[in-house]
Amino acid sequence: MQWFDLTIGDPAQDLAMDEALLDWCESNDSLGALRFWESPKLFVVLGYANRRSCEVNVVACKNRELPILRRCTGGGTVVQGQGCLNYTLVLPEKMDPAFSTIPGTNHFIMDRQRQAVERSLGSSVEVQGHTDLVWRGRKFSGNAQRRRRSYLMFHGCFLLHFDLALIQEVLNTPSSMPDYRRARTHSDFIVNLPVKQESLKEAIRTVWSANQPMLPPPVELVQRLMSERYGQEEWHKKY
């Protein structure tokens, strides 16, 4: 599998790069790809079907000049910036029979991600809900997927040294919560994982056998997706 570490620096373009990687793998019959990125800018990102008025404190975001963007995958609304390590996996569906269903895909990938975190952390973690990773009862990673004809994209974020109070300030109580959350506030529910970023990256690369640098990444596809979706205000405000 190929891998690369690339942050464009503009949150909308970084979101577009995830989908561009999926398109590139689909078009090139790739063995798979892994990307890491960490935005230097703060932003809020909605899951594909999330309603901003429901999930986000729009006034607080406006006061802080935080953009509210939308990604192409499901899941909940999150805040991102420095201290949030993102990863993106694109895998061929033929890689494993588990990939024939969404639940099977979730179980297969989250089990490997759990193994990677435990290797880096030196402590046990759990998979809770559908695709949450939890340490000592608190969530530190959320994940989501998107599928094409022959490939799937699975991406997520690890809280490592993020301003957790900001999440409480700019996000509303989510409209949908897993049972294990027990209606806890953001502040009582989430936690930064005490691991070094490079150690976690190496552990993830190891469990996915991502040994080949990807040169160059598919940056040319990003501009197409920016013009079609991610650069359009209508896309981010569609719900």
Cβ burial of 101 (10 Å; 0-12, 13-18, 19+) is: exposed
Q: What average pLDDT does the structure give for the chain? A: 96
Contact 33, 152 (CB under 8 A): no
Q: pLDDT class for 82, splitting at 50, 70, 90?
A: very high
Q: Kindly give the residue spans of alpha helices, DSSP state H, lying in the chain.
A: 11-28, 52-55, 58-64, 102-121, 164-170, 186-189, 197-207, 219-225, 233-236
pLDDT at residue 217 tops 90:
no
Q: Is residue 63 part of a domain?
A: yes
Give the confidence band of 239 by pLDDT, cuts at 50, 70, 90.
Answer: confident
Span 197-214, average pLDDT: 96
Q: Does residue 216 surpass a pLDDT of 90?
A: no
Under DSSP, the state recorded for 161 is S
* Total domains, the chain: 1
Amino acid at residue number 224? R
Q: Give me the mean pLDDT over the 220-231 stretch.
A: 95
SS3 of residue 143 by DSSP: strand
What pTM, to 2 d.p., does this model score?
Answer: 0.94
Cα–Cα distance for residue pair 167/142, rounded to 1 Å: 14
pLDDT on residue 152: 97
Mean pLDDT of 38-50: 97
Over range 74-84, report the average pLDDT: 96
- Amino acid (one-letter) located at 154: F
**150 within a domain of the structure (yes/no):** yes
Q: Among 60-64, 104-108, 235-239, whose mean pLDDT is lowest? A: 235-239
The whole-angstrom separation of Cα 63 and Cα 162 is: 20
Kindly report whether the peptide bond that precedes residue 218 is cis, defined as omega within 30 degrees of 0: no
For residue 188, pLDDT over 90 is answered with yes
Residue 7 lies in a domain: yes
CA-closest candidate to residue 12, choices 63, 64, 71, 56: 71
Q: Confidence class of residue 98 from pLDDT cuts 50, 70 and 90?
A: very high
CATH number of the structural domain spanning residue 169: 3.30.930.10
Does 177 map to a domain?
A: yes
Asked if 238 and 49 touch (Cβ cutoff 8 Å), the reply is no
Place of tokens 């963007």: 69
- Is residue 12 one of the residues assigned to a domain? yes
How far apart CA 18 and CA 179 sit, in angstroms, is 29
Task: Examine residue 139 and state whether it is found in any structural domain, yes or no.
Answer: yes
pLDDT of residue 14: 97
Average pLDDT over residues 166-188: 94
- Domain for residue 193, yes or no? yes
- What is the percent of the chain where pLDDT is above 90? 96
Inside any domain, residue 239: no
Q: Are strands 33-37 and 2-5 parallel, antiparallel or unpaired?
A: parallel
The predicted structure's pLDDT at residue 199: 97
Report the pLDDT averaged over residues 69-76: 95
Residue 80 pLDDT > 90: yes
Domain that holds residue 219: 2-234
Pairing of strands 212-213, 126-128: unpaired
